Amino acid sequence: MSAEVAIHHAYGNFTLDVAFTAASGGVTALFGPSGAGKTSIVHALAGLMRPTEGRIVLEGRTVLDTKAGLFVPPEKRRIGLVFQDARLFPHMSVEKNLLFGWRRSPARATPDEIARTVSLLGLEKLLARAPKNLSGGEKSRVALGRALLASPDILLLDEPLASLDAARRAEILPWLERLRDIARIPIFYVSHSLDEVARLADRVVLLDGGRVTAEGSVFDLLAGLGAEKPLGAVLEARAADMQDGLQTLLFDGGRLMVTDMHAPGRRVRVRIGADDILIAREAPRGISANNILPVTISSVRLDGPRAEVEMHCGRARLVARVTAASVSRLGLAPDAAAFAVIKAVIVEGG
């Protein structure tokens, strides 16, 4: 286990009471609405907040144990924290900002590694600039580089994209993906954006009202396994050939046609919202939808007038939100064969 977290902390009328573990490597998303306690958890992990009770073990090091009276201060925790608002030192150049943590790190990166990080984040041309002369996206990249160059044991990203507009966000996401793919340290990614989580995370800890409501792999969790509300399915797919302005994506269970273009062979993640799937018992004909997948129903969960239907197509899982009336009219039950008519596929990039 790379991280074991148990925190109990009360302030005002809000109580944070969470416990979860995160496996080594990969991206663990802390996902939930504003006020779910995400930032408090990050602050507790980093040592900027001292919970009334709790125990945190990071990469085998106990950094907090209130029972034993142990509290490792932030400057000794070796945690790279990227704040929502970048927090670059305004009186230092980009280069000095980048090397601030490096200078103080007990395990300094070599000049080669520094150069690699700088080029990974595309910072070569920014080094001499002052932070006030950077765009929002550039600031985020510098903050990310600064945290990485301190050679942390764990990287915490606290909504690093929240203060950016859609265009800037789209600019940063590929950098984060590259980082995820090469980083050998566990990354905690805090977000309230489904897109970001579906695109970057391997595991998800769902939070609401200061509690963990579910935790598991991104593929299971977003499809509703263990969670109260399914958000949709996330599939991993590989780009194949292009034809008539449509690209074929191959996944474990079939193919999807999308309008986004990716180089053939490229791995991408696609998300299919629970409200973007229609269910038919017979193969529909004369329909505008490009993607109709034969599926087998795995479970039906009734919730008043609504129902959530889980299906599988090969090994890929899909989930659809329909009415209870449709469920009984179509006779939807486990193991029944059906067709999933997919209205929209969101390609999250790879």
Under the binding rule (CB under 8 A), the answer on residue 107 touching other proteins is: no
Measured distance CA(24)–CA(34) in Å, rounded: 27
Distance of CA 28 to the CA centre of its chain: 7
For other proteins, the closer CB: 83 or 219? 83
215: β partners: 205
How many residues bind to other proteins according to rule CB under 8 A?
28
- Of residues 82 through 101, those in contact with other proteins by CB under 8 A are 83, 85, 87, 89-91, 100-101
79 binds other proteins (CB under 8 A): yes
CB of 148 to other proteins, least distance (A): 11
Spatial distance between the Cα atoms of 155 and 283, rounded to a whole number of angstroms = 48
- The whole-angstrom separation of Cα 185 and Cα 147 is 12
Q: Does 80 bind other proteins (CB under 8 A)?
A: yes
Task: Pick the binder of other proteins from 12, 75, 110, 128 (CB under 8 A).
Answer: 75
Q: Is-contact 66 55, C-beta < 8 A?
A: yes
- 151 sits in the region (left: phi over 0; alpha: psi -120 to 50; else beta) called left
Residue 145 vs 254, nearer CB to other proteins: 145
| Identity of the residue, 75 or 244, whose beta carbon is nearer to other proteins in the bound complex | 75
Based on the shown chain and the rule CB under 8 A, indicate whether residue 77 belongs to the binding site for other proteins: yes
> Which phi and psi angles does 299 have, rounded to 5°?
-160, 160
* CB nearer other proteins, residue 48 or residue 336: 48
Contact flag: residue 130 with other proteins (CB under 8 A) = yes
Subset of 33-52 contacting other proteins (CB under 8 A): 46-48
113 is a contact residue toward other proteins (CB under 8 A):
no
Contact 16, 10 (CB under 8 A): yes
Is there binding between residue 54 and other proteins (CB under 8 A)? no
Q: Measured between alpha carbons, how far is 243 from 118 in angstroms, rounded to an integer?
A: 38
User: Can you tell me whether residue 163 is helix, strand or coil?
Assistant: coil
Dihedral pair phi/psi, residue 179, rounded to 5°: -60, -45
Give the one residue of 32, 37, 131, 210 binding other proteins; rule: CB under 8 A: 131
Is 142 an interacting residue with respect to other proteins (CB under 8 A)? no
- Among 41, 81, 218, 309, interactor with other proteins by CB under 8 A: 81
Binding status of residue 216 toward other proteins by CB under 8 A: no
By CB under 8 A, tell whether 128 contacts other proteins.
Answer: no
Q: What is the DSSP string of 281-330?
A: SS---S-S-SEEEEEEEEEEEEETTEEEEEEEETTEEEEEEEEHHHHHHH
Which of 8, 21, 65, 74 binds other proteins (CB under 8 A)? It is 74
Q: Shortest distance, CB of residue 144 to other proteins, whole angstroms? A: 13
In this chain, which stretch among 13-21, 69-77, 175-183, 273-281 interacts with other proteins, using CB under 8 A?
Answer: 69-77
73 lies in the binding site for other proteins (CB under 8 A):
yes
Identify which of residues 7 and 197 has a Cβ nearer to other proteins in the complex.
7
Tokens of 31: 């996902």
The rounded distance, in Å, linking the Cα atoms of 155 and 56 is 15
Nearest-approach distance from CB 179 to other proteins, in angstroms: 18
What is the rounded distance in angstroms from the CA atom of residue 6 to the CA atom of residue 58?
A: 12
Shortest separation between residue 140's beta carbon and other proteins, angstroms: 13
Backbone angles phi, psi at 319, to 5 degrees: -140, 140
Judged by the rule CB under 8 A, the positions of this chain that interact with other proteins are 46-48, 73-81, 83, 85, 87, 89-91, 100-101, 104-105, 130-132, 146-147, 150
